[in-house]
A and B are shown apart, each in its own frame.
Chain A
Amino acid sequence: MSEQLDAGLIAQRIAEDDGLGRPSAGHEVGRARRRKEDARLVTGRTTWTDNVQLPGMLYVAFLRSPMAHARIIRVDVSAARTLPGVVAAYGGADFAGEQGSLPCAWPVTEDIVIPDHPPMAVTEVRYVGEAVACVVATDRFKAADALEAIEVDYEPLRAVVDMTEALAEDAPKVHEPGNRAFTWKFAQGDVDAAFRDAPVVIDRTYVQQRLIPTAMEPRAVVASTDGQTFTLYSSTQIPHVLRVMLAMTTGIPEHRLRVIAPDVGGGFGSKLQVTAEEVLALLLTRRLGRPVKWTESRSEGNLTVHHGRDQLQRISIAAERDGRIRGVKVDLLADMGAYLMLVTPGVPLLGAFMYGGIYKMDAYDFTCTGVFTTKMPTDAYRGAGRPEATFAIERAVDELACELGLDPVEVRRRNWITHEEFPYTTVCGLTYDSGNYEAATARALELFGYDRLRAEQAERRERRDPVQLGVGVSTYTEMCGLAPSRVLGSLRYGAGGWEHATVRMLPTGKVEVVTGTSPHGQGHETAWSQITADALGVPFEDVSVLHGDTAVSHKGMDTYGSRSLVVGGVAVLSACEKVKDRARELAAHVLEASADDIEFSDGSFKVRGTDEGRTIQELALAAFAAHDLPDGFEPRLDAESTFDPDNFSFPHGTHLCAVEVDTETGRCSIRSYVAVDDVGSVVNPLIVEGQVHGGIAQGVAQALFEEAVHDAEGNLLTTTMADYLIPSASDLPAFVTDRTETPATSNPLGVKGVGEAGTIASTPAVVNAIVDALRPYGVRDVRMPCTPERVWRAIAEAPARPAATGPEESESAISEGGAR
């Protein structure tokens, strides 16, 4: 292997560039460190699940249903079993006695319908791609070929593709109890009063199209057993949750099941799941006594990775003539797909409290009905519920502004919580601990050149330029840092929201941090090292972070919902504090002083007012030798901590987007994009920047490019990347990003989380800009993704001829920085 590809050398070079040799203790948090894990990740010289090779390994391929809804009459695998290299082949009936049902951990109501969900279909298939048989062979090529020898007879049943049609009386039933999974309601204040005689009511319906999470690394599973214990490698976000759930599902005792998430190449929520393939891999290795591997293809993934979004949102705003919001009503249909998977029904609930956004109001009413259809189940996808909520309120507030002839920024300013009002308990009962919407908005307007763009917009309208300009605003907040266990319990979630960390002082003074979060690309190793370096006064490079293996990290709640830093990072800090407490006690003993007289700074414990002291490394060695410890002092400095947050965290920010719409072709091109986010205190600005960029790209993708499309028979038409369009760097503008920092008051790091913010914020900013460009044509909405054809049709079918100018009675021109 050439030197350029040596991950170790590259890591060393990065370390040198970043000045790792220089003393840095006490100044790590806030430093734009390049990520210590990236050299191995970007060179691929690491262990991905598909790299795992075990002796005697067999390869699994799944035969998947070509029909969205059908009764299985017969599965005949006998011909496949005779093919060269084929070790075994099974249909669903072969697992019927032992495969159990894939778990749903979030029964959101008491009367929710949770259908049986066999990992391999036995009697009926309910979406295209559902596994109906499998082949196990000596290589993956023979396994793939043998699938064609399996015969399956189906009796077709009617597909149920559309949610509204699914709820009709005569609709075919996806499951016997009917197609309504649950209805969940939440109301605060007198919403009827708010809407009664309201001077202005905005009533809109938006479609949150179905999306396919597209992680760079496809899913892969390796399962093996020695007859007693089982090991499962999986490209998962949730090794700990998975272990518990697999033990419950398969009956393999939890203490004999080890789950390993090696390096994982992205997830976006799609790997927050207990999958059919994971369960079946365990059953196969148990049955065959040999290791088995399954790696999905991209097209297989498009069909069978859980999908995201897919909601029909009706939102109504009652407002005063001056734009002040009286109340908001939301009525959702949420497409569950064919089954309820791990948190499928909970996704809309994560948005249920966020349809009020950053705005003050007296009344709020939310209803959500979960609907079964014959499509792949939906579940968590970057933002999970909150992008949908933010989209609806931010789109509707723009409509309110239009209705009143007000600038959209001005309407927001008249409604938002001002910075003096924090902590602020919203109408939904959430307490937003901190924030400063004025500051973020002022900075964004300044960077964007809002007035200049508005002037250009007016000028283009004036001369009826075929390329019109639109400006979109999104002032978002979100609730993340999942989550206070008490709150999860009150929402009927099946587990808690704490996180665990262990900090081990090694005899040579180096530090091992064991975290219960399970990174899949976010940079935990770097950020946790920065936190630890500052807390213990040790060099950044002396810290290594262990994760993702239940035999190494025995306790954890894993990674989703922008929780890793806010909950897991705080657990690391808390464990470091405990290590320090022990070291202080030991230092006092060694230095023959009172613990109260010991001061800690830059990694040394000193007797106050003297130079007499011990470094934490010296104390680690002393604890290891254990020759001279205080009475009753266990010979270790190591400590662990389990942190359960009191509150969610609430990042916020203002995103502004300028879009040029070619009215002749319908093409929308983002001309400029400004994001000013407030994610609280920042551990590593470079990581934050990366998350914001990627997040915006993913939100823009929903606005302009991505959609899982099904035909009337329930076939997924977007099974390849030629049809399911993921934007690349060439399709996106350069983002201008900045931050304001209002520390969270709910955790000692002051952090709020940044994993989902960009995605949550950007989608409405883009669509608001497109609609803004086309208002003179009478366009009120364009359904996402705003494809050129949809935009062109929206213009062609709009009621109005292009007006020479835009809305004229704008009450208040927003000057740059005017919202300060």
Chain B
Amino acid sequence: MISAPFDYIRPESLDEACRVLAEADTAGDDVKVLAGGQSLLPLLRLRLAYPAALVDIGRLRELRGVRDGGDHVLIGAMTTHDEVLRSALIRKEIPLVALATATVADPAVRHRGTFGGSLAHADPAGDLPAVALALDCVFVARSSAGGREIPAADFFVDYLETALEPGEVLAGVRVPKLGPGWGFHYEKFHRTAQSWATVGVAAAVRLDGGTVEEARIALTNMGPAPVRARAVEETLRGVSPAPSASGARDPLADACDRADEGTSPPADLHGGPGYRRHLARVLTRRAVAAAV
């Protein structure tokens, strides 16, 4: 559990970080951006990654903090999970972020791991990517060439792969405030308190007059990247989530039975694809029921 040798660079500013990354990109060096290190360091220690250098942006204060942006909340990439959980602004305006963050790993990891690091790492078993996708967050990237905004739908590309270019740093994430009438839930299924999600469901649901007006549902670990359960979102519109009369078909369950459409769940020690598809259906129903 000793990583291979690497250079370590700790820029004093975001500008300097961008410059270092640009130079590395030009030189063709394989560098990795180090945030809280809770995902990257295990990869290094298991010698599953051999970067030439780490660029540590973990102490850049300018990337840390939660700000009210009017129609959105801007979360600095280096804000720790613990800081997210303690933010009254997040709890009030974008509670789904807090609900999911509370399920991330354990207190020690949440004190070091960062919101942006977790998203940029893009582990499909991570909890936050599905939340970002469900809420249509906007990812703010910086490079020596300037800034760029990437919608969540374009950000998660593949297993541990995002739309960030080699010279880019994730600076922050704009999380839209959905406004009144919305209910939220993050339903995580995992085998022990500290294990990764076998499947997770991020749900935001808005009711109007007792029926679903709009639903946003994204799934954790149902493919190489988080995925929106579009079929459920569409089928749920107009459905009453109240328990149906005994014996009648439950339209909520019917809608949620489509949760695994368009997914390609992995097989691992915690479950095969068939089981994960089943879980996605059950957990989506539970998430929607809990959100409304």
Q: Which residues of A contact B (CB under 8 A)?
A: 140-141, 144-145, 148, 297-300, 664-665, 667, 705, 709, 717-718, 720, 722-723, 725-728, 730-731, 787-789, 792-793
- Closest B residue to A792 by beta carbon equals B275
Interface SS of B by simple majority: loop
CB contact under 8 A between A792 and B278, given known A140-B2, A723-B269: yes
Known: A299-B46, A788-B271. A145 touches B5 (CB 8 A): yes
Q: Which residues 187-202 of B sit at the A interface, judged by CB distance below 8 A?
A: 189, 191-196, 198
Report, nearest first, the 7 A-B pairs whose CB atoms are least far apart: A297-B1, A730-B193, A144-B2, A789-B275, A789-B271, A664-B282, A731-B192
Question: Is the CB of B91 closer than 8 A to any CB of chain A?
Answer: no
**B272 an interface residue at 8 Å Cβ cutoff?**
yes
Q: B residues within 8 A CB of A667?
A: 189
Interface centre among A299, A723, A789, A792 (most CB of B within 10 A): A789
The answer to whether B269 and A705 have CB atoms under 8 Å apart is: no
- CB <8 Å contact, A141 and B2: yes
Asked if B270 is at the interface of the complex by the 8 Å CB criterion, the answer is: yes
Minimal Cβ-Cβ distance residue in A for B194: A728
> Which residues of B have CB within 8 Å of A793?
275
**Chain B residue contacts of A665, Cβ below 8 A:** 189, 279, 282-283
- Which residues from A are CB-within-8-Å of B2? 140-141, 144-145, 297
Chain A residue nearest to B198 in the complex (CB): A788
Extra contacts besides A300-B1, A705-B192, A718-B269 (12): CB < 8 Å: A141-B2, A144-B2, A145-B4, A717-B269, A720-B42, A727-B192, A728-B193, A730-B194, A731-B192, A787-B270, A788-B275, A789-B270
Q: Would A722 and B278 count as touching, CB distance under 8 A? A: no
- Whether B189 and A722, one on each chain, are in contact in the complex, defined by CB atoms closer than 8 angstroms, is no
Alpha-carbon distance A768/B110, docked complex (angstroms) = 37
Interface size on B, residues (CB 8 A): 23
Q: Give the distance in Å from the alpha carbon of A531 to the alpha carbon of B264 in the complex.
A: 63
Cα–Cα distance between A297 and B1 once the two chains are bound (Å)? 6
Knowing A705-B191, A789-B272, say if A722 contacts B1 (CB, 8 Å).
no
On chain A, the residues within 8 Å of B198 by CB distance are 788
User: Which residues from chain B contact A718 at a C-beta distance below 8 Å?
Assistant: 269
> What string of 1s and 0s marks CB contacts (under 8 Å) between B161-202 and chain A?
000000000000000000000000000010111111010000
A626 to B144, CA, bound (A): 88
Q: Are B192 and A725 in contact (CB under 8 A)?
A: yes
**Which residue in B5, B191, B193 is a CB contact (below 8 Å) of A787?**
B191
Point out the residues of chain A lying under 8 angstroms from B195, CB to CB: 722, 725
Closest to B125 in A: A722
Q: Known: A144-B2, A299-B46, A665-B279. Is A788-B196 also a contact (CB below 8 A)?
A: no
Closest to A297 in B: B1
A720 to B46, Cβ gap below 8 A?
yes
Q: Show 22 A/B contacts (Cβ-Cβ < 8 Å), sorted by A.
A: A141-B2, A145-B5, A297-B1, A297-B2, A300-B1, A664-B282, A665-B279, A665-B283, A667-B189, A705-B191, A717-B269, A718-B269, A725-B191, A730-B192, A730-B194, A787-B191, A787-B270, A788-B198, A789-B270, A789-B271, A789-B272, A793-B275
Which B residues lie within 8 Å of A727 (CB)? 192
B269 near A709: Cβ-Cβ < 8 Å: yes
Per the bound structure, the CA–CA distance linking A141 and B6 in Å amounts to: 12
Bound Cα distance from A621 to B282, whole angstroms? 77
B268-287 interface with A by 8 A CB criterion: 269-272, 275, 278-279, 282-283
Report how far A727 CA is from B272 CA in the complex, Å.
Answer: 22
A726 to chain B: which residues have CB within 8 Å? 192
Contacts of A144 in B (CB 8 A): 2
Inter-chain CA distance A720–B192, complex, in Å, is: 14
Contact of A788 among B42, B191, B193, B194 (CB under 8 A): B191
Contact of B192 (CB < 8 Å), options: A664, A728, A789: A728
B1 surroundings in chain A (CB, below 8 A): 297-300
Q: Which residues of A contact B278 (CB under 8 A)?
A: 792
Task: Give Cα distance in the complex from A789 to B276, angstroms.
Answer: 9
In chain B, residues 237-291, which have Cβ atoms closer than 8 Å to a Cβ of chain A?
269-272, 275, 278-279, 282-283
Contacts of B46 in A (CB 8 A): 299, 720
| CB neighbours of A709 from chain B (8 A) | 269
Distance of A112 Cα from B191 Cα, bound (Å): 41
Q: In this complex, which of A300, A720, A722, A726 has the most chain B Cβ atoms within 10 angstroms of its Cβ?
A: A722
Q: Which of B41-90 contact A (CB under 8 A)?
A: 42, 46
By beta carbon, the residue of chain A nearest B271 is A789
A665 to B275 alpha-carbon distance, docked (Å):
9
Bound complex: CA A792 to CA B193 (Å)? 20
Contacting residues, chain B, for A725 (C-beta < 8 A): 191-192, 195
Least Cβ–Cβ distance between A138 and chain B, in angstroms: 14
Q: How far, in angstroms, from A218 to B198 measured CA to CA in the complex?
A: 28
Q: How far is the CB of B267 from chain A (nearest CB, A)?
A: 11
Residue of B nearest to A298 (CB): B1
